[in-house]
């Protein structure tokens, strides 16, 4: 039965109480309810550079349409001719509220990536002054241009014209222009775009917004040699999948020790990709501006970047820090000056032993220093300052000679 029906014209099948053959399924006609329209129409027209041509057909109904079984064709009438010059049979199933894009086989790769169907360019070739028609079972249901009239170069003016432009049907349009005999003015139902505008192909009306990638990173990362430091970086795309996070620039010069580590790509559309921006403790002391870039897996990837101010302070020996602290305690009179002198003197001796590599003597001097700190009365030094001195002294011993 299916084979027999496929061979019948739509008219022969009738409508009321009959069946339409669609997408390999028999759908009772009574269930075919128009969404915003009940017949396909052309929703985008590309007459671009070189061989970049495309026609997009829209299905405004709520029913999948088998284009071949229903007998849809695109045809053109060259240069004011009144008979069909050539055309292409549409083949495939156009889903409800969806589009069907046909492109010649010799179009650019970018345009062909948008195609649902390709055709031999010799069969269907329109170049601005040729009327283009969408037909259904031999009946023209939508015509761009005026059949039998040659406008010379194009219909329309500026971007809204049929040559070297893209024409996008306004989303308020719900049906094709079935009258191919009246004058054609594309500005009535179409918006015009520059040569080789392809971003509207694949959807009716304004192309959907491609949400940008968003990236989050710390404003700054600070460390002192030889300690490493790391900060969390993450990125996401509401309608895409972030698949990379990387350091793309380091100024003034890349020391090679500022890297992205622990990278985990987003597991799905809208998910977060995460990583750490890691600064090695061996990084040359200095200030760096680090650019981290995230990208998604779109055919033409979207990306987003952030900048992190990285500061690596040079290594300061614990002995220097201890000396500075004792000196400032004395200067600020935070410790009794006489006691302060004893502490300074003890440190000077320890430092001399350290410089000379006398490890045992150095440790003995540091022990004596610690004992002096411990012996200071709270009248002379605050417990907090005493604890800090003790901790620094332990660091000095740990660093050794």
173/392 with CB nearer Ca ion: 173
Cα separation, 173 vs 223, in Å, equals 62
H or E element at residue 130: none
152/158 with CB nearer Ca ion: 152
- In whole angstroms, the minimum distance from the beta carbon of 226 to Ca ion comes to 41
Beta pairing class for 286-296 and 72-77:
unpaired
- In whole angstroms, the minimum distance from the beta carbon of 150 to Ca ion comes to 8
- In whole angstroms, the minimum distance from the beta carbon of 130 to Ca ion comes to 4
182/345 with CB nearer Ca ion: 182
Cα separation, 376 vs 398, in Å, equals 23
- In whole angstroms, the minimum distance from the beta carbon of 135 to Ca ion comes to 14
Per DSSP, the three-state class of 315 is coil
78/91 with CB nearer Ca ion: 78
- In whole angstroms, the minimum distance from the beta carbon of 241 to Ca ion comes to 9
Contact 284/313 with Cβ under 8 angstroms?
no
Which residue minimizes CB distance to Ca ion? 240
182/262 with CB nearer Ca ion: 182
108/257 with CB nearer Ca ion: 108
H or E element at residue 133: strand 131-136
Cα separation, 82 vs 136, in Å, equals 18
197/278 with CB nearer Ca ion: 197
110/220 with CB nearer Ca ion: 110
- In whole angstroms, the minimum distance from the beta carbon of 94 to Ca ion comes to 13
Q: In degrees to the nearest 10, what's the CA dihedral of 81, 82, 87, 92?
A: 140
Contact 162/144 with Cβ under 8 angstroms?
yes
62/239 with CB nearer Ca ion: 239
Cα separation, 346 vs 342, in Å, equals 6
Cα separation, 385 vs 193, in Å, equals 73
- In whole angstroms, the minimum distance from the beta carbon of 6 to Ca ion comes to 29
163/321 with CB nearer Ca ion: 163
Q: Which residues neighbour 199 within 8 Å (Cβ) at sequence distance 6 or greater? A: 207
Burial of 209 per CB tally in 10 Å (0-12, 13-18, 19+): exposed
Beta pairing class for 117-119 and 99-104:
parallel
Residues of the shown chain interacting with Ca ion in the complex, contacts defined by CB under 5 A: 43-44, 56, 79, 127, 129-130, 177, 179, 182, 200, 210-211, 237, 239-240
Burial of 124 per CB tally in 10 Å (0-12, 13-18, 19+): buried
- In whole angstroms, the minimum distance from the beta carbon of 276 to Ca ion comes to 24
Angle subtended at Cα 198 by Cα 106 and Cα 268, rounded to the nearest 5 degrees: 110
129/160 with CB nearer Ca ion: 129
Contact 111/44 with Cβ under 8 angstroms?
no
Residue 112 exposure: Cα atoms within 13 Å on the Cβ side = 11
- In whole angstroms, the minimum distance from the beta carbon of 79 to Ca ion comes to 5
- Output the CA–CA distances (angstroms, integers) from residue 134 to 144, 176, 177, 248, in the order listed: 9, 9, 10, 50
- In whole angstroms, the minimum distance from the beta carbon of 292 to Ca ion comes to 18
CB atoms near residue 147 (< 10 Å): 23
């Amino acid at each position: 039965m299916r084979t027999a029906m496929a061979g019948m014209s739509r008219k022969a099948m009738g409508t009321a109480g009959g069946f339409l053959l669609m997408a390999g399924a028999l759908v009772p006609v009574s269930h075919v309810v128009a969404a915003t329209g009940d017949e396909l129409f052309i929703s985008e027209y590309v007459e671009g550079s070189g061989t970049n041509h495309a026609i997009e057909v829209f299905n405004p109904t709520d029913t999948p349409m088998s284009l071949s079984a229903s007998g849809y064709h695109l045809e053109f009438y060259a240069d004011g001719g009144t008979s069909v010059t050539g055309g292409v049979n549409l083949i495939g199933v156009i889903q409800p509220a969806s589009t069907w894009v046909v492109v010649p086989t010799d179009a650019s790769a970018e345009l062909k990536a948008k195609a649902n169907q390709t055709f031999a360019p010799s069969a269907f070739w329109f170049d601005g002054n040729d009327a283009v028609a969408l037909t259904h079972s031999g009946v023209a249901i939508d015509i761009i241009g005026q059949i039998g009239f040659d406008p010379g170069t194009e219909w329309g003016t500026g971007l809204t014209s049929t040559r070297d432009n893209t024409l996008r049907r306004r989303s308020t349009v719900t049906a094709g222009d079935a009258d191919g005999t009246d004058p054609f003015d594309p500005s009535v139902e179409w918006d015009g775009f520059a040569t080789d505008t392809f971003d509207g192909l694949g959807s009716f009306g304004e192309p959907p917004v491609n949400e940008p990638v968003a990236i989050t990173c710390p404003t700054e990362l600070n460390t002192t040699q030889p300690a490493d430091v790391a900060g969390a970086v993450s990125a996401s795309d509401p309608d895409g999948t972030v698949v990379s996070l990387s350091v793309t620039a380091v100024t003034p010069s890349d020391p090679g020790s500022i890297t992205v580590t622990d990278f985990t790509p987003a597991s799905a559309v809208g998910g977060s990709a995460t990583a750490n921006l890691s600064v090695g403790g061996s990084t040359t002391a200095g200030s760096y501006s680090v650019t981290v870039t995230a990208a998604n897996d779109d055919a033409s990837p979207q990306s987003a970047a952030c900048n992190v101010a990285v500061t690596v302070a040079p290594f300061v020996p614990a002995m220097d820090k201890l000396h500075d602290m004792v000196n400032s305690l004395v200067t600020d009179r935070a410790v009794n000056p006489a006691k302060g002198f004893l502490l300074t003197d003890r440190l000077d001796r320890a430092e001399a032993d350290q410089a000379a590599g006398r490890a045992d003597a150095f440790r003995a001097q540091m022990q004596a220093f610690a004992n002096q700190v411990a012996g200071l009365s709270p009248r002379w030094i605050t417990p907090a300052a005493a604890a800090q001195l003790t901790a620094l002294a332990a660091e000095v011993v740990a660093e050794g000679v």
